[in-house]
Amino acid sequence: MAVRVAVVDGFSTGRFLVQELLDRGVECVHVRSKPRLNSYYESTFQPGDYVLDLGFNADVPALARLLAELDVERIVPGTESGVELADRLTHLTGTPGNVLELAGARRNKYLMAKTLRAAALDAPRSELASSPTEAVTWFEASGLDAVVVKPVNSAGSDHVRVCRRAIEVAEACADVLSAANLFGEPNRTALVQEFLSGPEFYANTVSDDGRHVIVETWRYTKTRTAKGAPVFDFEEPADLDAPEAMRIHDYVRSALTALGVRTGAAHSEVVLTARGPVLIDPGARLGGGVLPWVTAKLVGQSHAGVLADSVAAPERLTRLAEELPLRWKRPIRYVSLINHRAGRVSTLDWVWRIKALPTVIAMATPLAKGDKLVPTHDLLSSPGFVYLNGDSRHEIERDYEKIRSWEEAGCYTT
């Protein structure tokens, strides 16, 4: 009998996970954490991949009983919005999962920092503010030169601002409190967090029974808008032979243990400060905004593929661990597209221009002719992303600069 898995919110990268599971003979059942999510996620849903779509059920214990009756053996989140419900369902069904008592710390960045410090691990100084006045009061008393203001549990650089003055803190906090997060939940508080200086990395892992396997580690390069919002520029694989890579990996494994991660995927964002690695964003799920087939084709595995292997046959993770983390034979760069001018997409000619560049091996864009675009300030306002892969860094840099020059000229909008 085929292994049967329930995927909670099979959107974004979750749809690629489902494909990997299907390739391994796994049957998938879909569960929603909410009746609807925003269009960015909804547009990626592929209902035909599931033997059954249970939709949304507010009665979680009843849903857990139904999954047990359907012989579901594993429950995994497809994207960040599904993490909390997946935790509750694994607990109620007795299927492999993470420590339920620490579920809040895996989504709430304030609780994350508090939990890490309790485990004697470094974490950013943080405070919750329910008003701009509270945010400014803490900032001025902290003695910090800069802070990051953001929702306490969102994703995709949603409403994230780097602030160096009290007025900026107040404005950023007001923006957060007046909005809902990426998953449609009102922001009751804003997180005011120490701004950490240093290169930023992310480590993607897969865990089984508390053993954490590093699948891949990449380094971010970001820019900022005039208002201090971080904008993803590009990412490149970290140098796994550098001493800092081992420090990051050791820290991430310890942080995952402290946060109660025992089973499944995690996407951990870390700043390598002068005092060492510090986790700024935990994600007990796959990393988003990627094309797993690219890494699988070029280096034999992907984060989604390793997770699917661990679900379909957990013993495979031991064998795969000997081949990980992934090592790249040729230079590769993941480039986030950046729009500079508000307007409408009048043509998709730019798609073919970009795809024709010699080092472009894959591209993804959600845009269609007529779509409205604002200047890129977070993940959802990016026109898409491309992978560049070549024989030399010079080739990649050449094509990267061409893309950026076309963007400066306003290639996306009229």
pLDDT tens sequence across 154-164 = 666 778 889 99
Distance CA 358, CA 333 (A): 13
Contact 77, 86 (CB under 8 A): yes
Q: Cβ contacts of residue 314 below 8 Å, gap of 6+? A: 208
pLDDT tens sequence across 31-45 = 999 998 878 788 899
* CA neighbours closer than 13 Å in the CB half-sphere of residue 251: 29
Q: Cβ contacts of residue 26 below 8 Å, gap of 6+? A: 2, 3, 4, 5, 308, 311, 312
Q: Is 409 left (phi over 0), alpha (psi -120 to 50) or beta?
A: alpha
Contact 232, 287 (CB under 8 A): no
Q: How does residue 358 score in pLDDT terms, banded at 50, 70 and 90?
A: very high
**Range with lowest mean pLDDT among 31-35, 152-156, 170-174, 208-212:** 152-156
Domains of the chain with bracketed CATH: 4-95 (3.40.50.720), 125-194 (3.30.1490.20), 196-328 (3.30.470.20), 330-414 (3.30.70)
* CA neighbours closer than 13 Å in the CB half-sphere of residue 312: 20
- Residues present in the chain in total: 414
Closest CA to 188 of 107, 115, 129, 267: 129
Helices 303-312, 14-23: axis angle to 10 degrees equals 50
DSSP 23-43: HTT-EEEEEESSS---HHHHT
Structure tokens at 349: 């000619």
**pLDDT value at 313 more than 70:** yes
- End-to-end, the C-alpha distance of the chain in Å comes to 55
Cα→Cα distances 16→45, 51, 67, 283, 290, Å: 10, 16, 22, 17, 9
Report the mean per-residue pLDDT for the chain: 94
